[in-house]
Structure 1
Amino acid sequence: MSAGDATALDSTSPGTGPRAGQPDARVPDARVPVEAPTPPPSVAWTVAGLLLMVLLAALTRFLELNVPVWTEGTPLARIAKPVEFPVYAIALGLLGNAVLVATNLKDKVAAAFRTELFIKTGVVLLGASVNLSLIVTAAVPAIVQALVLISSVFLFTWWVGGKLGLDDKLRALLSSAVSICGVSAAISAAGAVQAKREQLAYAASLVIVFALPSIFVLPWLVDLLGLSPAVAGAWIGGNIDTTAAVAAAGTLAGEDALALATIVKSTQNALIGVVAIALTAYFAFKVERRPDAAAPGVGELWRRFPKFVLGFLAASVIGTLYLAQVGSDVGKPVITVANDLRTLFFILAFVSIGLELRVKALRAAGWRPVAVFGLATVFNLVVGLALASVLFAGFEL
């Protein structure tokens, strides 16, 4: 046996010890400093972070209620009136973010910023206001529009994202957000594909950035094109990504347009679960499956499936049955309480998004996600207008 063979045997064979003068790799070496585990976040700092979020949420509500009053009778009144809580919440969150970064306190209080928890809770509560019996009023055209629009816009966004080389998980988030209902859909997709928090924050930020101008642009286009209230409502409800922005734009377009916009948006919201199931299966069976691995079973699909979507569907069914049982006069105040709680959690979520946002992550993503979202938005507007004009022509509310 050569010296080289002996050396190899000494260092690899079972039952042999280390060579003289060398530490045994199997035993911790006292001479090598061991990195201490990261300590858990301080309870006091977490509480401080929660108090900061509650303060910013209260300030958000205060601004939402009072800015229209303060600007009444001024040139800013038309702009201030339809602006809803996502704008103030994101802006205040970003302001708080800048202060925390400047004072080196962000990492200490970051444990309180639970964006996903707040939005998931809000989405479940959103289900209570999705009255399935109301959807039946415009069932056929609304469902047809939702299916065609979601499918075409999702596939277009996915295709463009692939052409521009986006990560599959970010493609899924952007495709879901722009084709269904913005942040809520992005959250559902994030759970299904196990996306990174930075990707979710980026997708949510794009939703807000594109939704805000649409609040004013779409009602202006409705007047310019001379659309009927039904077509206008279907177009607004099918294209604007956030429910709050749909309500704001629908209000500007008129009460009838708002009513149908709500129905169309509710129909799209109800399809969140279908898309989440499809994404869960696609990523489990194709995107993340190794060639030599067995096909994932039902247990793996269930583990990946975002469970809060079931809560959304259950809340919708319960809300519908409850209203049918007690009547709208008795039931609507209860649903209003659920809506108020939903608004509270969404405010906390949007504040948290602003607080969590990391500029480095946005810079790292570059211009390509913005280009994908922008192209998809234009595609959504064109296809949505065509579908609304065909499906809701002559529709009576």
Structure 2
Amino acid sequence: MSTSTKQFNLHEDWTVVILGFLIIGISLFIFLPEVPVFKWTNGTDLINNVFEIKNTQTIGLQFLYFISIGTIGTFLVGKSVKNFILGFPIIYFLTIIALIIAGNSEVKALNLEAVIFSLIIGLAIGNFFTLPEWFRAALSTELFVKIGLVLLGTSVIFSDILKAGSLGLIQALIVVLSVWYFAFWLCKKLKVDDELTMMISSAVSICGVSAAIATSGAIKGDSKKLSYVISIVLVTAIPMMIFMPIIAKYFNFPEEVTGAWLGGSIDTSGAVVASGTLVGETALKISTIVKFSQNVLLGLAAFAISIYWTYTHNNSSETISKPTLKVIWERFPKFVIGFILASILFSFFISPEVRDTVKDNLKNLQGVWFALAFTSIGLETNFKDLLQNNSRTPLFAFLIAQLFNIIITLFIAFLLFNK
């Protein structure tokens, strides 16, 4: 249980924007945190390179850097700083193991990224061991992944956004509207309850966890149902993240099409980034832009949902606020603003020479934040939740809607991005 006094309780999305630019500012004006070496071929290499004294010191200094930034973020969002300081070393240690595994030359040849091993390690521990509540409360998945996403903006130069942004928005509009309506219709046919129907429809069509949370807030939904939908989103993102890039490579899809397909159909931003990384730099950038195009629609979707819910459930004894422009702003994912500002900063205000100096450093920091996020996702995801008898119908609805999403998004990606 949290024991901290909440002197501040800043919105998490604003917190990650602040932290993202704090990291950027440190890299530009104060110092560049050294990048640890994780590359190795055999046991001798492992000892002489990865576990070499200077490199272990670098890993230790990186730990201090990350726990300091994470502690500030934990304090700003009003969570227990004590729990975070106790739990983060475990998350960091597990993530370092994943980075070491991913650094092996044979693993690299298979094009397997550290986030996959972070996820596997987290899932193995989270599903076979009972984690204490204080530790589960210390997991800051959204904080980690959103900091990484703000930092990702430093590598997406504005000319790339202009080239793919309009197409990404067109795709987002078509996919969100068609997939949301299909999921809604399917849930009604399968007699899924109204709250789960709204959360599933938004999660599968817009942007996964963030959309489910925004929808639950708009309809004042049951937190247990929200937790269930989030579990489905996180678990189904795993095979999609791994196998969609493999399918794209097998059928030799153009990298732009693959990026648009991944960004438009995978429901979590972190998984989109991970899968895009497995394909290549172009796919990563396109997938991120497409995903953010869908994220931009989140506020408008929450606004529309709140209108629908108000007029179809107005017989409830609970008063539901009338939708206003304030609702749109409250539901809008603020970390997208951080991503765009970082992109503008590095596109127009940072010289190419300085950009080249800090590029590798920021990419390393971004990668570690993502790896930490996926370790946390694994630790907090329990497969047993998906196997309960009373959970099968909404699970089937989600999976069928997701299959529809994958097919129609691929079709639209080919229409818009195939040169």
Determine which of 386, 389, 394 is the counterpart of 2:411.
386
Amino acid in structure 2 at the alignment position of 1:145: Q
Q: Confirm or deny that 1:326 pairs with 2:349.
A: yes
Amino acid in structure 2 at the alignment position of 1:230: E
Amino acid in structure 1 at the alignment position of 2:258: A
Call closer, same or farther: CA 1:335–1:278 in 2, change over 3 Å.
farther
Give the match for residue 286 of structure 2.
Answer: 260
Contact 2:150–2:339 (CA under 8 A) maintained in structure 1: yes
Alignment of 1:191-206 (within 5 A): 191-206=217-232
Call closer, same or farther: CA 1:359–1:219 in 2, change over 3 Å.
closer
Q: Deviation per CA, 1:23-77: give whole Å up to 9, x if none.
A: xxxxxxxxxxxxxxxxx8767xx7775455323421342133112235x437995
Alignment of 1:43-58 (within 5 A): 49-51=83-85, 53-58=87-92
Q: Deviation per CA, 1:281-319: give whole Å up to 9, x if none.
A: 322x224322899994457x84x6683635335434533
Give the match for residue 311 of structure 1.
Answer: 334
Structure of higher CA gyration radius: 1
Contact 2:199–2:229 (CA under 8 A) maintained in structure 1: yes
CA deviation after TM superposition for structure 1 residue 87, in Å: 4.3
Call closer, same or farther: CA 1:86–1:241 in 2, change over 3 Å.
farther
Q: Deviation per CA, 1:238-279: give whole Å up to 9, x if none.
A: 112222322332233333333322222222222222222222
Q: Confirm or deny that 1:290 pairs with 2:290.
A: no
Distance 1:253 1:356 in 2: 26
Call closer, same or farther: CA 1:222–1:231 in 2, change over 3 Å.
same
TM-score, reference length from structure 2: 0.66
Contact 1:86–1:208 (CA under 8 A) maintained in structure 2: no
Where structure 1 has 5 or more consecutive residues not aligned to the other structure, the ranges are: 1-39, 101-105
CA deviation after TM superposition for structure 1 residue 213, in Å: 1.4
Contact 2:211–2:298 (CA under 8 A) maintained in structure 1: yes
Amino acid in structure 1 at the alignment position of 2:294: Q
Q: Confirm or deny that 1:64 pairs with 2:98.
A: yes
Q: Confirm or deny that 1:73 pairs with 2:73.
A: no
Distance 1:197 1:292 in 2: 19
Call closer, same or farther: CA 1:274–1:222 in 2, change over 3 Å.
same
Q: How many residues align?
A: 340
CA deviation after TM superposition for structure 1 residue 388, in Å: 1.0
Determine which of 171, 188, 205 is the counterpart of 1:162.
188
CA deviation after TM superposition for structure 1 residue 124, in Å: 7.7
Distance 1:176 1:247 in 2: 20
Alignment of 1:1-397 (within 5 A): 49-51=83-85, 53-69=87-103, 72-73=105-106, 83=116, 85-96=118-129, 98-100=130-132, 106=133, 109=134, 112=137, 119=142, 123=146, 126=149, 129=152, 133=158, 134-283=160-309, 285-290=310-315, 296-297=321-322, 302=326, 307=330, 309=332, 311-327=334-350, 329=352, 330=354, 333=358, 340=365, 344=369, 347=372, 351=376, 354-355=379-380, 363=388, 365-394=390-419
Distance 2:110 2:371 in 1: 25
CA deviation after TM superposition for structure 1 residue 350, in Å: 6.8
Give the match for residue 54 of structure 2.
Answer: none
Contact 1:122–1:345 (CA under 8 A) maintained in structure 2: yes
Q: Deviation per CA, 1:297-347: give whole Å up to 9, x if none.
A: 457x84x66836353354345334433452265579599769958975994
Call closer, same or farther: CA 1:153–1:231 in 2, change over 3 Å.
same
Contact 2:145–2:270 (CA under 8 A) maintained in structure 1: no
Contact 2:200–2:229 (CA under 8 A) maintained in structure 1: yes
Distance 2:282 2:254 in 1: 9
**1:59 aligned counterpart, secondary structure:** helix
TM-score, reference length from structure 1: 0.69
Distance 1:343 1:189 in 2: 30
Call closer, same or farther: CA 1:360–1:324 in 2, change over 3 Å.
closer
Call closer, same or farther: CA 1:129–1:354 in 2, change over 3 Å.
same
Identity value in percent: 27
**1:165 aligned counterpart, secondary structure:** coil
CA deviation after TM superposition for structure 1 residue 211, in Å: 1.5
Call closer, same or farther: CA 1:159–1:353 in 2, change over 3 Å.
farther
**2:253 aligned counterpart, secondary structure:** coil
Amino acid in structure 1 at the alignment position of 2:215: A
Contact 2:209–2:233 (CA under 8 A) maintained in structure 1: yes
Q: Deviation per CA, 1:76-112: give whole Å up to 9, x if none.
A: 955565616444444444445x254xxxxx4xx3893
Give the match for residue 31 of structure 1.
Answer: none
Query: More displaced, 134-143 or 358-367?
Result: 358-367
Contact 2:228–2:385 (CA under 8 A) maintained in structure 1: no
**Pairwise CA RMSD:** 4.1
CA deviation after TM superposition for structure 1 residue 379, in Å: 0.2
